[in-house]
């Protein structure tokens, strides 16, 4: 152990960020709500007495009511809307999670390496990104469907494969400007190997931009998934997602308001929370911002 | 005494911050006579700029000013926005520090200047253009008519500041407020701008308030001085009296901290006799950068930032490298440590050629070769604690080191550079500029290097802090037996710390000599011009000096002149200088690259 008296405890970036995040009320509430939504999406469908494809012939397109047991009502085929919304949440959140994880993992690594290496390596790496960009997204999805058959996993792969390209570009741009900062030069002068510089200096300093971009990616991905489902390329009936539910609800807007209101509310609350949490994280990850609070 | 032009009393400026109100200026009062020049001197954070911004109603949104400031019969602080607009730009004009950021890059010079005339004198079209051209000529810009159609980026730094001054003077204001007008400029250009301001003051009878941190700048300019510290006036009076006999303790310490070019160094020991092999040796070192071609699909052009530099550095020696911006001095420092790719020549370190090593062979040697940068905050990773920053080189070179031992070593080093080791878990932004530079020094020294390159290591610091950091560096050099390469643009600082000095111009060595020889008997015309341009913090010396200004600004390193690169600005240049490249030849104790060194 160290014998040095330290007026503040040793700490890491993430410990500090966690502490700062807890001080930010909006972000804390957002995180709690997100956790609640995630928990209910995972647990409730197992507990509730209805299945997502089970039709209740006595209550077709009935409004929310305690008496019928359909708390959020039923859809045009008599299926419980709460259960369907929760199942839709499973799909939407999973797509968002996987696609974001893919774009984070590949995009940040790829972009940081390209930006830090610079020169010819950067040129080659970014031209590969440009080529992938040029592939039409729909064509890619249809091709995958034809080759491997319809499959939820494929949708994750397709969306993830497109999203990391944006992330890589953004991260590379940021890295280019970070690379010439003096603290990176100081690390090079200190003999720190390139991989370690990227890990310790470049990536932590990218986090602000990355977090903001992720909060934009999540809604985007959820919407892309619902678009695919609408075209018949995504999740198929009777399985559903938030995007698909909102789409269905929109068609019944004049007769059954609850069919669009509840899934939209889930979607909107989730996206709101993502944004608040993202903002909070960005501030929390920047030590310079913390002292003002 | 006639009625003062500007009479300020009880000026207070407060900023509302999340941490409570910040009192930036306290009870400031002064009077300015018509045509008089007042120098407001203070270190960063002394409130000198904020006081002036408050008078002009330019405070940030969370700022509030109170007090009284009578100017031409009206209280500036009580005026509304519309009334202030009639004063600003017309009766009081302002010139800011950085001419590049204070000119709009999307407007031509003529358009920007025209805006002032349109607003205050309802002048437009051909008469406005004529007025602008006349004013540009008055501030010494050649081909004024053509310049009006150029954009700010097409002008050099000195030109831009001239444009700013011309714009400020368009409406013949009674008062010109210049906030650090020469701080962003090179020393020879600074001399030109100061001479211009002196000249214009005489011609237009404008009163000037010169805000600066640099006592040597006000020495030759100001009639009266006002010294500020922490928002308060410490001392005010005629400049000559304050420089000769400062009454306030703070003024005295400030004056004492300013290094003087006309006095021998007090800080460095005389160089030891050089024994044995040099520690570091550069031979014909060249660094090139590719610059985008002017035409699409054209070949990229090569910019020679360092064009064949050779020198040796003895163990324990301090070499000062001095020159104007763009002369390649910083690039040279980075090339010595191979932080930029070397295009040609070699760097020998203890007999090994650094330029021939790959990064795996080089990294172990980096332990011996360290660097301290100019901007202390930028050179520290904002997301790492001070402990992690200082420990990083140690962890790199001794990966097996136990965490606790590492922390102890960091603590020891922090104590050495004068910081409280108990603060090691704080982040860099929680420290002041001087403390950040101490952290950077601790990081550079923790691996016990043999050579440290200090790249403008004190340029961003206040004078009093600067003196502390210089003393610290020299003290550590003595204790740890370091060699230093001290890169700087400030001749007075270089004189304070160097044993030997190298003067660079456009990537080449112009003159290299032992410090005392160089400052006592400069041989190269460029060295002489540099020395003549550097202001001296003493009004008596400054007024008596013969001013041999260096005309123009350095040519672009993309197309250096043939033969001797300095010939285009040299007053001794002859036809031969355009064809022959002068070699670095010995003249007495100096090495000089000038064909006519023996004659002049």
> What was the ipTM of the complex prediction?
0.78
Q: What mean pLDDT is predicted for residues A140-161?
A: 77
Predicted confidence band of residue B273 (pLDDT cuts 50, 70, 90) = low
Q: Which residues of A touch B384 (CB under 8 A)?
A: 13, 200-201, 204
Q: Which residues of A touch B393 (CB under 8 A)?
A: 190-192
Nearest in space to B469 (alpha carbons), one of B259, B184, B194, B241 = B259
> By a Cβ cutoff of 8 Å, what residues of chain A touch chain B?
1-11, 13, 181-183, 185-193, 196, 200-201, 204-205, 207, 285-288, 291-293
Cα–Cα distance for residue pair B214/B319, rounded to 1 Å: 25
Could A3 and B404 be called an inter-chain contact, meaning their C-beta atoms sit closer than 8 Å? yes
Q: What is the pLDDT of residues B467-500, one digit of tens each?
A: 888 888 888 888 888 899 999 888 888 888 888 9
Average pLDDT, chain B: 87
Please, are residues B257 and B218 in contact by the beta-carbon 8 Å criterion?
no
Q: What mean pLDDT is predicted for residues A181-206?
A: 89
Could B425 and A189 be called an inter-chain contact, meaning their C-beta atoms sit closer than 8 Å? no
Phi, psi of A266 (to 5 degrees): -60, -50
CATH code, domain with B499: 3.40.50.300
For residue B488, give the H/E element and its range: strand B483-488
Please tell me if residue B289 touches chain A, with a CB cutoff of 8 Å: no
Smallest CA–CA distance, residue A164 to chain B, in Å, is 25
Distances in whole angstroms, Cα of residue B114 to Cα of each of B91, B131, B170: 17, 9, 9
For residue B204, give the H/E element and its range: helix B187-204
Interface with chain A: mutation pick from B383, B397, B406, B433, highest number of A CBs within 10 Å: B383
**Quick check: bond before A238 cis, omega within 30?**
yes
Q: Would strands B500-505 and B483-488 be described as parallel, antiparallel, or unpaired?
A: unpaired
Please, are residues B109 and B163 in contact by the beta-carbon 8 Å criterion?
yes
Q: What DSSP string describes A229-292?
A: HHTTSSS-TTS--HHHHHHHHHHTTTT-THHHHHHHHHHHHHHHHHHHHHHHHHHHT-HHHHTT
In a domain, B405, yes or no: yes
Please, are residues B372 and B454 in contact by the beta-carbon 8 Å criterion?
yes
Nearest in space to A85 (alpha carbons), one of A268, A263, A267 = A263
Could B392 and A13 be called an inter-chain contact, meaning their C-beta atoms sit closer than 8 Å? no
Smallest CA–CA distance, residue B539 to chain A, in Å, is 38
Residue with tokens 């080093």: B413
Token couple for B549: 């200004």
Strands in B92-95's sheet, in edge-to-edge order, are B92-95, B175-179, B207-212, B37-42, B224-229, B232-238
Please tell me if residue B421 touches chain A, with a CB cutoff of 8 Å: yes
Q: Given this model, what pLDDT does residue B511 score?
A: 94
In a domain, B264, yes or no: no
Q: Which residues of A touch B431 (CB under 8 A)?
A: none
Nearest in space to B326 (alpha carbons), one of B488, B507, B161, B153 = B507
Of A76 and B312, more confident: B312
Residue B113 exposed, middle or buried by CB count within 10 Å (0-12, 13-18, 19+):
buried
Q: What mean pLDDT is predicted for residues B27-41?
A: 91
Nearest in space to B396 (alpha carbons), one of A104, A188, A23 = A188
Q: Is the pLDDT of residue B188 over 50?
A: yes
Strands in B6-17's sheet, in edge-to-edge order, are B20-32, B6-17, B63-71, B74-75
Q: Given this model, what pLDDT does residue A211 score?
A: 87
Token couple for A149: 């058959």
Could A287 and B425 be called an inter-chain contact, meaning their C-beta atoms sit closer than 8 Å? no
Predicted confidence band of residue A292 (pLDDT cuts 50, 70, 90) = very low
Cα–Cα distance for residue pair B109/A24, rounded to 1 Å: 48
Of B92 and B101, more confident: B92
The 3-state secondary structure of B492-503, one letter per residue: HHHHHHCCEEEE
Number of domains chain B is built from: 1
Predicted confidence band of residue A2 (pLDDT cuts 50, 70, 90) = very low
Could A288 and B423 be called an inter-chain contact, meaning their C-beta atoms sit closer than 8 Å? no
Could B403 and A188 be called an inter-chain contact, meaning their C-beta atoms sit closer than 8 Å? no
Q: Given this model, what pLDDT does residue B210 score?
A: 93
Q: Would strands B483-488 and B224-229 be described as parallel, antiparallel, or unpaired?
A: unpaired
Please tell me if residue B371 touches chain A, with a CB cutoff of 8 Å: yes
Distances in whole angstroms, Cα of residue B409 to Cα of each of A120, B289, B306, B414, B580: 41, 39, 38, 9, 55
Q: What is the dihedral of CA B217, B223, B226, B227, to 10 degrees?
A: 40
Q: Which residues of B touch A196 (CB under 8 A)?
A: 396
Please tell me if residue B360 touches chain A, with a CB cutoff of 8 Å: no
- Residue B12 pairs in a beta bridge with B66
Q: Given this model, what pLDDT does residue A1 score?
A: 42
Could A6 and B425 be called an inter-chain contact, meaning their C-beta atoms sit closer than 8 Å? yes
The 3-state secondary structure of A72-90, one letter per residue: CCECCCCEEHHHHHHHHHH
Nearest CA in chain B to A185: B339
The 3-state secondary structure of B303-368, one letter per residue: EEEEEEEEEEECCCCEEEEECCCCCCHHHHHHHHCCCCCCCEEEEEECCEEHHHCCHHHHHHHHHH
Q: Is the pLDDT of residue B274 over 60?
A: no
Nearest in space to A6 (alpha carbons), one of B259, B106, B514, B407 = B407
Q: Is the pLDDT of residue A267 over 60?
A: yes
Predicted confidence band of residue A8 (pLDDT cuts 50, 70, 90) = low
Could B383 and A183 be called an inter-chain contact, meaning their C-beta atoms sit closer than 8 Å? no
Q: Which residues of B touch A185 (CB under 8 A)?
A: 334, 339, 371, 373, 379
Q: What DSSP string describes B12-74?
A: EEEEEETTEEEEEEEEEEEEE-TT-EEEEEE-TTSSHHHHHHHHTT---TTEEEEEEEEETTE
Residue with tokens 């590969």: A128
For residue B289, give the H/E element and its range: strand B280-291
- Residue B8 pairs in a beta bridge with B30, B69
For residue B251, how far is the Cα from the chain centroid?
22
Q: Is the pLDDT of residue B117 over 70?
A: yes
Token couple for A252: 């019944």
Q: What mean pLDDT is predicted for residues B419-426?
A: 89
Please, are residues B310 and B283 in contact by the beta-carbon 8 Å criterion?
yes
Q: Is the pLDDT of residue B393 over 80?
A: yes
Please, are residues A163 and A217 in contact by the beta-carbon 8 Å criterion?
yes
Q: Is the pLDDT of residue A268 over 80?
A: yes
Residue with tokens 């009502």: A73
Cα–Cα distance for residue pair B285/B282, rounded to 1 Å: 6
Nearest CA in chain A to B337: A189
Could A185 and B379 be called an inter-chain contact, meaning their C-beta atoms sit closer than 8 Å? yes
Q: What is the pLDDT of residues A82-116, one digit of tens each?
A: 888 999 889 888 888 888 888 888 999 999 999 99
Q: Given this model, what pLDDT does residue B266 score?
A: 61
- Residue B488 pairs in a beta bridge with B322
Q: Given this model, what pLDDT does residue A5 score?
A: 63
Collapsing DSSP states into helix, strand and coil, what is residue B419?
A: coil
In a domain, B351, yes or no: yes
Q: Given this model, what pLDDT does residue B271 score?
A: 60
**Residue B443, C-beta contacts closer than 8 angstroms, at least 6 positions apart:** A186, A190, B389, B390, B392, B393
Nearest CA in chain B to A293: B18
Q: Which residues of A touch B421 (CB under 8 A)?
A: 4-6
Please tell me if residue B396 touches chain A, with a CB cutoff of 8 Å: yes
Nearest CA in chain A to B387: A10
Could B385 and A11 be called an inter-chain contact, meaning their C-beta atoms sit closer than 8 Å? yes
Q: What mean pLDDT is predicted for residues B78-94?
A: 88
Nearest in space to B286 (alpha carbons), one of B343, B349, B355, B354 = B343
Residue B240: CB atoms within 10 A of its CB come to 17
Could B383 and A13 be called an inter-chain contact, meaning their C-beta atoms sit closer than 8 Å? yes
Cα–Cα distance for residue pair B109/B92, rounded to 1 Å: 21
Q: What is the pLDDT of residues B494-539, one digit of tens each?
A: 888 888 999 999 999 999 999 888 998 999 999 998 888 888 888 8
Q: What DSSP string describes B565-584?
A: TTGGG-TT--GGGGTPPPP-
Residue B286: CB atoms within 10 A of its CB come to 16
Please tell me if residue B416 touches chain A, with a CB cutoff of 8 Å: no
Q: Given this model, what pLDDT does residue A57 score?
A: 78
Q: What is the CATH topology of the domain spanning A36-290? A: MetI-like fold (1.10.3720)
Cα–Cα distance for residue pair B143/B463, rounded to 1 Å: 39
Q: What mean pLDDT is predicted for residues B157-180?
A: 89
Token couple for B349: 């370190």
Token couple for B181: 């007008």
Q: Which domain holds residue B462?
A: 280-290+302-515
**Residue B453, C-beta contacts closer than 8 angstroms, at least 6 positions apart:** B333, B334, B336, B337, B369, B370, B371, B372, B484, B485, B487
Q: Is the pLDDT of residue B167 over 50?
A: yes
For residue A189, give the H/E element and its range: helix A182-189
Average pLDDT, chain A: 83
Cα–Cα distance for residue pair A111/A155, rounded to 1 Å: 23
Cα within 13 Å of Cα(B87), Cβ side: 23
Q: Which residues of B touch A180 (CB under 8 A)?
A: none
Predicted confidence band of residue B272 (pLDDT cuts 50, 70, 90) = low
Cα–Cα distance for residue pair B453/B486, rounded to 1 Å: 6
In a domain, B181, yes or no: no
Please, are residues B244 and B313 in contact by the beta-carbon 8 Å criterion?
no
**Residue B63, C-beta contacts closer than 8 angstroms, at least 6 positions apart:** B13, B14, B15, B16, B24, B50, B53, B54
**Residue A123, C-beta contacts closer than 8 angstroms, at least 6 positions apart:** none
A to B CB pairs, distance under 8 Å: 113
Predicted confidence band of residue A141 (pLDDT cuts 50, 70, 90) = confident
């Amino acid at each position: 152990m160290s014998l040095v008296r330290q007026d503040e405890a040793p700490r890491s970036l993430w410990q500090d960020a966690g502490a700062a995040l807890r001080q930010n009320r909006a972000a804390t509430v957002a995180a709690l709500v997100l956790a609640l939504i995630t928990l209910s999406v995972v647990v409730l469908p197992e507990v509730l007495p209805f299945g997502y494809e089970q039709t209740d012939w006595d209550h077709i397109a009935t409004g929310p009511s305690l008496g019928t047991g359909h708390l959020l009502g039923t859809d045009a085929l008599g299926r419980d809307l709460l259960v369907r919304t929760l199942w839709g949440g499973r799909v939407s959140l999973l797509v968002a999670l996987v696609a974001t994880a893919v774009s984070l993992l590949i995009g940040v690594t790829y972009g940081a390496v390209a930006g830090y290496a610079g020169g010819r390596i950067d040129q080659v790496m970014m031209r590969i990104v440009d080529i992938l960009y040029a592939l039409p997204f729909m064509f890619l999805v249809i091709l995958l469907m034809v080759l491997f058959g319809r499959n939820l996993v494929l949708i994750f792969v397709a969306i993830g494969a497109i999203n990391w390209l944006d992330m890589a570009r953004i991260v590379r741009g940021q890295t280019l400007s970070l690379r010439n900062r003096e603290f990176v030069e100081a690390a090079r002068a200190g003999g720190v190997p390139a991989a370690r510089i990227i890990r310790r200096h470049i990536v932590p300093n990218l986090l602000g931009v990355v977090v903001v971009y992720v909060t934009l990616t999540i809604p985007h991905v959820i919407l892309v998934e619902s678009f695919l489902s609408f075209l018949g390329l995504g999740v198929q009936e009777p399985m559903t997602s938030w995007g698909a539910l909102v789409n269905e609800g929109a068609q019944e807007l004049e007769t059954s308001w609850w069919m669009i209101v509840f899934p939209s509310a889930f979607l909107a609350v989730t996206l709101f929370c993502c944004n608040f949490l993202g903002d909070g994280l960005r501030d929390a990850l920047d030590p310079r911002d913390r002292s003002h609070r | 005494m006639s009625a003062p032009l500007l009479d300020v009393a009880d000026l207070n400026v407060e900023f509302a911050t999340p941490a409570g109100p910040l009192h930036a200026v306290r009870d400031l009062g002064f009077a300015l006579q018509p045509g008089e020049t007042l120098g407001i001197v203070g270190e960063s954070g002394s409130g000198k700029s904020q006081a002036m911004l408050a008078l002009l109603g330019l405070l940030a949104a969370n700022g509030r000013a109170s007090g009284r400031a009578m100017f031409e019969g009206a209280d500036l602080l009580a005026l509304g926005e519309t009334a202030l607009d009639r004063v600003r730009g017309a009766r009081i004009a302002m010139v800011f520090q950085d001419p590049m950021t204070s000119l709009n890059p999307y407007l031509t010079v003529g358009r920007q200047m025209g805006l002032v005339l349109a607003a205050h004198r309802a002048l437009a079209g051909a008469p406005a253009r004529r007025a602008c051209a006349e004013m540009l000529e008055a501030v010494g810009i050649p081909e004024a008519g053509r310049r009006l159609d150029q954009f700010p980026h097409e002008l050099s730094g000195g030109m831009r500041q001239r444009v700013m001054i011309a714009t400020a003077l368009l409406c013949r204001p009674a008062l010109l407020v210049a906030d650090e007008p020469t701080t962003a400029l090179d020393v020879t250009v600074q001399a030109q701008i100061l001479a211009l301001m002196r000249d214009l003051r005489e011609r237009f009878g404008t009163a000037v308030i010169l805000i600066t941190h640099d006592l040597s700048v006000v020495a030759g300019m100001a009639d009266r001085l006002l010294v500020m510290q922490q928002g308060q006036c410490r001392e005010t009076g005629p400049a000559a009296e304050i420089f000769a006999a400062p009454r306030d303790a703070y003024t005295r310490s400030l004056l004492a901290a300013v290094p003087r070019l006309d006095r021998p160094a007090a800080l460095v020991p005389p160089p030891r006799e050089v024994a044995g092999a040099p520690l570091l040796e550069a031979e014909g070192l060249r660094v090139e950068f590719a610059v985008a071609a002017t035409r699409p699909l054209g070949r990229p052009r090569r910019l020679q930032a360092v064009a064949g530099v050779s020198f040796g550095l003895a163990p324990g020696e301090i070499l000062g490298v001095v020159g104007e911006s763009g002369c390649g001095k910083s690039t040279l420092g980075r090339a010595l440590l191979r932080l930029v790719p070397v295009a040609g020549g070699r760097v020998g370190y203890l007999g090994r050629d650094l330029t021939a090593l790959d990064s795996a062979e080089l990294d172990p040697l980096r332990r011996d070769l360290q660097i301290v940068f100019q901007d202390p905050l930028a050179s520290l990773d904002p997301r790492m604690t001070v402990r992690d920053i200082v420990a990083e080189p140690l962890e790199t070179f001794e990966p097996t080191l136990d965490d606790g031992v590492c922390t102890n070593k960091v603590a020891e080093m922090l104590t050495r550079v004068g910081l409280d080791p108990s603060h090691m878990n704080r982040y860099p932004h929680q420290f002041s500029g001087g403390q950040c530079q101490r952290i950077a020094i601790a990081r550079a020294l923790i691996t016990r290097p043999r050579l440290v390159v200090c790249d403008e290591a004190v340029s961003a610091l206040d004078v009093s802090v600067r003196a502390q950091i210089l003393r610290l560096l020299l003290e550590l050099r003595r204790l740890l037996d370091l060699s230093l390469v001290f890169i700087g643009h400030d001749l007075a600082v270089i004189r304070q710390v160097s044993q030997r000095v190298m003067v660079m111009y456009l990537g080449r060595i112009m003159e290299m000599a032992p410090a005392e020889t160089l400052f006592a008997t400069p041989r190269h015309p460029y060295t002489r011009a540099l020395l003549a341009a550097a202001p001296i913090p003493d009004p008596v010396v400054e007024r008596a000096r013969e001013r041999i200004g260096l005309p123009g600004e350095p040519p672009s390193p993309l197309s250096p002149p043939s033969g001797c690169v300095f010939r285009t600005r040299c007053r001794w240049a002859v036809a031969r200088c355009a064809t022959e490249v002068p070699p670095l030849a010995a003249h007495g104790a100096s090495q000089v690259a000038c064909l006519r060194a023996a004659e002049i």
